[in-house]
Structures are given as C-alpha cells and as structure tokens.
Amino acid sequence: MACGTLCVVLTEDRQDSSWRPAPDRYEQTPYRRAGRSGVLLPPVSLGLWQNFGGDRPLETARAILRRAFDLGVTHIDLANNYGPPYGAAETTFGQVLRSDLAPYRDELFIATKAGYDMWPGPYGDGGSRKYLLASLDQSLRRTGLDHVDVFYHHRRDPETPLAETMGALDAAVRAGKALYVGLSNYAPADLREAAAILADLGTPVLLLQPRYSMFDRRPEGELLDTAAEVGAGVAVFSPLAQGRLTDRYLDGIPEGSRATRSAYLSASDVTDDLLSRARALDALAAARGQSLAQLALRWAVRDERVTTALIGASSVAQLEANLAATTGPDLTDEELAAIEAHLPSAGTALQV
C-alpha cells in the first residue's frame, strides 16, 4: 500500500526503541518544591523555545532531550508558538516522546503555553476561552499527549477579563487536559488578582514564569514577593540573557551567533557596557572554576523563591556544561558582593 509521510514519521519514531535512560538519573539532582504545592522540579530545566524547531535536525533534539533526562531534568517547557515555524517544537517533542520517552511519561513534568499570536483571525491570540482551549487541544495533538502537567497563559491580555482567562485555565484542569495552571509575563497586581480568581475556582496557580537574569532583575522585590504570597513557584526564563551571559560574546559578536540571526536578539543588544560587565563576571566565574554561564545560572537560582531556571541547548555538550552549574559550592556572601558590583540594581534591568 502507499506509505507517505505518516510511515516516514513512524519509522523515525521507532528507530531506537532500545534506548534506556541512565539508572542513576535521580541521584545527583537537588529537586526543589514549587511554591506550596507537592510538585518538585530540578533547579535547571530544559526549555524548547529555540533550537527545537523545524530548522534543526531531529537527531540533535533527540540527543539533547535524552541526555537531559539522563541527568535528572524532568521538566520540559514548551509553548504553542515555539519553532520555527509555530508549533514545530511541540511536534519535535512529540516525535522524541514516541521514539524514546513515552515509557517514562509519568517521570516527566511537561508544560505548554498559549497567549501570543498563533493562527490568523480573531481567535488565534490573546486570552479568550475560545483561543486558550483550542490552542491546548492543538498542543496535545502535536505532542501526542493526553494531558500536559502545567498549562500557562503566556501573557496578560488587557482586552480579555481575567475571570474569563482564569476560567479557561480552570476548565482545562477540570477536563483532564492539564494538571496545573501557570502564568507567564504577569505583573504583580495581575498575578495577585488572577491567583485569587483561581483560588476561588479551586485550581491554584502553580508556577509563575518571568524573565530573570543578572542583567534583568525586574522580578526582584514585588513580583517574587507576590509569587511567594500566593504560594506559586517561579520558573525563570532567559537566565543567560539570550546568550549574553555566556562566553559567546566576550570578544564581540561572532558570525552566525544568535545576535546575527534571531528575532529575539540583535547586535544592538550587545552593548559595550554589557560586554564590560560580562567580562568582569567571567573573571569572577573563572575564580570559582566555573564558566560565565554556570555562574549566571547559579546566581539565578540562589533565591529560594526561584524554583527552576529554564535553559535552551543547541548541543549535548552545551547542555551538560550548563547543568553543571548546580554542582560545587554555594555562592558566598563575598562572591555575591563582588558580583553585585557589576549588575544593575535590584528591581531594574540593563538598558539595551
């Protein structure tokens, strides 16, 4: 009979069914509790925002995801529009789930989101019940899951009442399509109001997801305080400032780097002031026997209110190097003071 695309996908999915994860995968990871919930997450988790789209080899994605699981990374973070193109990261994850990770589904904590533009027309963006529940159904089809562990609203939609948006998240949980709900890119006042609505519905907010790094400290203060107040854990994204807190840009902007090809980072974002700070921080990291990226990750999770930091990875080697940030001694008061001298003030971000 005719085969076509479906047979190709199934062949790819089944090509390495003998793979087994490392038996000691849980022995070295100091899992952290998410807020006041019963959920434990690794201090560093894997985000599929970039590097898992249709423009990257499937085998690279498989190798990264399998190695992450080998190293105790149970939390995988997705969104409906991660790619390129939109939806591709969820499709990639679904292929790796079928080929390798499906037997271990109950050991994984998988998140997805909806809130930014996804498809044309009035129902493919924002915070309406129509958009959120349709998007979640699409995400489940792309990943091949019957439910996700946490479903986030990706951003506050000022045009939609919070009660409608929170009602949709609650409905997803009650329908068995998500176990928990999360909120991403929410300001303190909106977080507080949304959490109150969800609490009244009987579905408390599990996780807040803000941008946070040495160069963007805006969550410090009211936002982290509010998350603690409502009992939510915090999963921070961009803890490496889109690669600017790595050795990638210490000598300028290399050809082919993210700053030359990404919609989320441009050459103008790598300023002389930022490079000067990064070089000073790199010297402090070297004194600890760490890379700049490892120091930045260790710093990002130093606050007990931060449950986990989400990182991307373009290779297994990069993944392994960054996960090593959780090993070794804690930052001392003296080291924190030395780091502080090169950062923007608490509650602020560098102007780039």
In a domain, residue 22? The reply is no
Kindly report, residue by residue over 164-216, the tens digit of the pLDDT: 999 999 999 999 999 999 999 999 999 999 999 999 999 999 999 999 999 99
- The H or E element that residue 207 is part of is strand 205-209
In a domain, residue 150? The reply is yes
In a domain, residue 341? The reply is no
Span of 17-26, 29-38, 60-69, 259-268 with lowest mean pLDDT: 259-268
State the pLDDT at residue 143. 98
Q: Are the C-beta atoms of 135 and 117 separated by less than 8 Å?
A: no
In a domain, residue 274? The reply is no
CB environment 26-52: b (16+ within 10 A), e (fewer): eeebebbebbebebbbbbbbbbbbbbb
In a domain, residue 25? The reply is no
In a domain, residue 214? The reply is yes
CATH number at residue 103: 3.20.20.100
Kindly report, residue by residue over 292-326, the tens digit of the pLDDT: 999 999 999 999 999 999 999 999 999 999 999 98
pTM of the predicted model as reported, rounded to 2 decimal places: 0.91
Average pLDDT of the chain?
92
State the pLDDT at residue 351. 82
- Per the structure, the complete domain to which residue 68 belongs is given by 37-241+292-327
Whether the pLDDT of residue 124 is over 50: the answer is yes
Q: What integer is the mean pLDDT of 220-227?
A: 96
* Strands 32-33, 40-41: pairing kind: antiparallel
Binning pLDDT at 50, 70 and 90, where does residue 72 land?
A: very high
The amino acid at residue 279 is R
Whether the pLDDT of residue 6 is over 70: the answer is no
In a domain, residue 275? The reply is no
- Phi/psi of residue 87, nearest 5 degrees: 90, -15
- The H or E element that residue 76 is part of is strand 75-77
3-class DSSP state of 349: strand
Binning pLDDT at 50, 70 and 90, where does residue 4 land?
A: very low
Percent of the chain past pLDDT 70, that is, above it, reads 90
State the pLDDT at residue 256. 55
Residue with the two structure tokens 């996780």: 207
In a domain, residue 162? The reply is yes
* Strands 148-153, 205-209: pairing kind: unpaired
Kindly report, residue by residue over 250-287, the tens digit of the pLDDT: 887 666 555 445 555 556 777 899 999 999 999 999 99
CA distance linking residue 129 with residue 126, whole number of Å: 9
State the pLDDT at residue 3. 39
Whether the pLDDT of residue 12 is over 90: the answer is no
What pairs with residue 184 in β-bridges?
A: 209
State the pLDDT at residue 26. 97
Q: How many domains does the chain have?
A: 1
